[in-house]
Amino acid sequence: AAPAGGHRFSAAAGPLPPDVVDEVAEACRSWRGGGSVLSLPFISEAFRELQHETQARLRRLLGLPPGYQVLFMQGGASAQFALVPLNLLGLDGAAAHLDTGHWSRRAAAEAARHARVVTLRHDALDEPAPPRETSPVAYLHLTSNETADGWQWPRLPTSPWPLVVDMSSDLLTRAIDCTGLGLLYASAQKALGVPGLTLVIVRDDLLGRARPSLPGVMNYTALAAADSRLNTPPVFAIFVAHAMLGWIERQGGVPAMARTAARRSHAVYQALDTSGGFYRPQVGPAWRSSVHPCFGLAERALTPRFLEQARAAGLFDLQGHPDVGGLRVSLYNGTPEAAVSALLSFLQEFQRTHG
Catalytic residues: 103, 166, 190
Among 187, 265, 282, 289, binds ligand PLP (CB under 6 A): 187
For residues 322 and 13, give the distance between their C-alpha atoms in angstroms, rounded to a whole number.
16
Apex 168 CA angle, 167 and 171, nearest 5: 60
CB of 213 to ligand PLP, least distance (A): 22
For residues 274 and 215, give the distance between their C-alpha atoms in angstroms, rounded to a whole number.
53
Q: Which is nearer to ligand PLP, 75 or 314 (CB)?
A: 75
Tally of CB atoms within 10 A around 96:
27
Tally of CB atoms within 10 A around 278:
17
Q: Is residue 172 within 8 Å of 257, Cβ to Cβ? A: yes
204 belongs to an annotated ligand binding site = no
Mask for 81-100, x = binds ligand PLP (CB under 6 A): --------------------
Range in contact with ligand PLP (rule: CB under 6 A) among 28-36, 75-83, 89-97, 271-279: 75-83
Positions in 272-331 near ligand PLP (CB under 6 A)? none
78 binds ligand PLP (CB under 6 A): yes
**What beta strand segments (E) does 60-170 contain?**
68-73, 94-99, 116-121, 140-143, 145-146, 151-152, 163-166
227 belongs to an annotated ligand binding site = no
Q: Which is nearer to ligand PLP, 112 or 302 (CB)?
A: 112
219 binds ligand PLP (CB under 6 A): no
Range in contact with ligand PLP (rule: CB under 6 A) among 123-131, 162-170, 231-239, 332-340: 162-170
Q: Which is nearer to ligand PLP, 77 or 258 (CB)?
A: 77
For residues 200 and 73, give the distance between their C-alpha atoms in angstroms, rounded to a whole number.
7
Among 55, 74, 100, 143, binds ligand PLP (CB under 6 A): 143
CB of 314 to ligand PLP, least distance (A): 24
For residues 113 and 80, give the distance between their C-alpha atoms in angstroms, rounded to a whole number.
13
169 binds ligand PLP (CB under 6 A): yes
Residue nearest to ligand PLP (CB): 76
Tally of CB atoms within 10 A around 97:
25
CB of 86 to ligand PLP, least distance (A): 16
Which residues, at least 6 apart from 93, have a Cβ–Cβ distance to it below 8 Å?
A: 85, 115, 116, 137, 138, 209
Q: Which is nearer to ligand PLP, 159 or 289 (CB)?
A: 289
237 belongs to an annotated ligand binding site = no
| Cα 286 to the center of its chain, rounded Å | 20
Per the DSSP assignment, residues forming a β-bridge with 315 are 7
260 belongs to an annotated ligand binding site = no
Q: Which is nearer to ligand PLP, 23 or 149 (CB)?
A: 149
Which residues, at least 6 apart from 172, have a Cβ–Cβ distance to it below 8 Å?
A: 61, 62, 191, 192, 248, 254, 257, 333
For residues 228 and 118, give the distance between their C-alpha atoms in angstroms, rounded to a whole number.
31
179 belongs to an annotated ligand binding site = no
Positions in 7-36 near ligand PLP (CB under 6 A)? 12
Positions in 220-249 near ligand PLP (CB under 6 A)? none
For the chain, give percent helix, strand, coil, nearest 5.
45, 15, 40
54 binds ligand PLP (CB under 6 A): no
For residues 355 and 349, give the distance between their C-alpha atoms in angstroms, rounded to a whole number.
10
| Binding site members for pyridoxal 5'-phosphate | 77-78, 103, 147, 166, 189, 231-232
**Binding residues vs ligand PLP (CB under 6 A):** 12, 76-78, 103, 143, 147, 166, 168-169, 187
